[in-house]
Amino acid sequence: MFSGVGKSTFARKLGERNGIGVTHLDAIYWKPGWVEAPTDEFRGAQQENVQREKWIIEGNYSSSIDIREPLADTVIYLELPLYVCLYRVVKRRIQFHGKTRNDIGKDCPEKIDWTFVKFILTTYKRRKKTMFHRLQHYANEGKTVHVLRNEKQIAGFLNQCTLKRNRR
């Protein structure tokens, strides 16, 4: 998924609706001062989370998808237009200026720089294509896949969604 698409807000609402705790990957990846967590610590936290009876994990980190992928029974993918994502990233920067969001590591005040914006701009199309193939693979495996492409679909999904139990 993409920065600014609304993953964290969506996951929080989904977790509240279903009574399931949410793990935000950014919150376990980023240590105070925007320091990256050691790989074994980051992976270990995810391995611990997927052992729960029910879980919601929100985030992109494809380097550790091998932990979540085999045990997930439902995949929800938000795909909003690039301009919406960029707008939200800028809005979030203004809204949380000098503050740390609750879905990010402790003492990591909101920031935006050209490298981050460039990353969003240059990877958007490629990531959409990659996700299209990945989602097809999940559906072929029998996982439940939801692709939500606008605010109306997202709101409708949240209003009627009750998640099933994760597979073991």
Tokens 């969001």 appear where? 101
Rounded-to-integer distance, Cα 153 and Cα 163, Å: 16
pLDDT of residue 78: 94
What sign does the dihedral 141-44-39-13 (CA atoms) show?
A: positive
pLDDT of residue 168: 43
pLDDT in tens for each of the 168 residues of the chain? 667 778 999 999 999 999 999 999 999 999 999 999 999 999 999 999 999 999 999 998 999 999 999 999 999 999 999 888 888 888 888 888 888 888 898 899 988 888 888 888 888 888 889 889 999 999 999 999 999 999 999 999 999 876 655 444
**Dihedrals φ, ψ of 57, to 5°?**
-120, 130
DSSP assignment string, 89-119: HHHHHHHTBT---TTS-TT--B---HHHHHH
CB atoms within 10 A of CB 76: 21
Q: Which residues pair with 76 in a beta bridge?
A: 146
**What pTM value is reported for the model?**
0.86
Tokens 């609706």 appear where? 17
pLDDT of residue 5: 79
